[in-house]
Structure 1
């Protein structure tokens, strides 16, 4: 009985180790100091062919919009809202509305006022939802830290 339990446990562990979360978006980050007291953070989504992520400006009742939350710090402060390029707009039957989305790649930008020379990184998290023409994956949340070098 003990051997059977060990075999079943080993199988479960093996199957769990081989299971992979489906992901079709890779995020990369870079910051550029524009002066001694300002910087811009660039957040790039590289999206697999046939998939897309949604704009930050999706209306209520639609898909999960892309959102950025920057960790509060005494060393920096976000200036204004996160900027995005003009999205593709399309009526999606499943949501019953026009939605804005991005394919292939998109770069979001956020300006920061640097309140201290000690400001070395900007940290935060982002949430997004990935869909193709047949299905949507559950929303995903990613934490990030961007060096201000």
Structure 2
């Protein structure tokens, strides 16, 4: 894969946007009729990013918000199905928030923006895909979470 090769060679960095072009018939100048925008790196989950913030931190993955108080360490990225005032004290010291619940007016969206931390909402199956303790990059500008 060309993007993986470019990563290996240091031509692009994790999370950078790469534009891939091609054309048919092959080898004929001016026949670019295919363009693909690709984020370099291994994307684990994606959703709607709500600001231009990034965080690199371990994941605190909780399938239910009641687990946050026992699993969370300040500086973690909290991954939950949704947020509520029940976990607001933990959100205040989180590096970022990832929720499966979508909606620009959701609790996570409002709290994350007011705390000025990276937020991704609508990350389908994030609590099942992401692994607790894994250090990842949460890129809210692109709405993606990828490996480091």
* TM-score, structure 2 normalization: 0.26
**Which protein is richer in helix relative to its size?**
2
Q: Between Structure 1 and Structure 2, whose CA radius of gyration is higher?
A: 1
**Which protein is richer in strand relative to its size?**
1
* TM-score, structure 1 normalization: 0.26
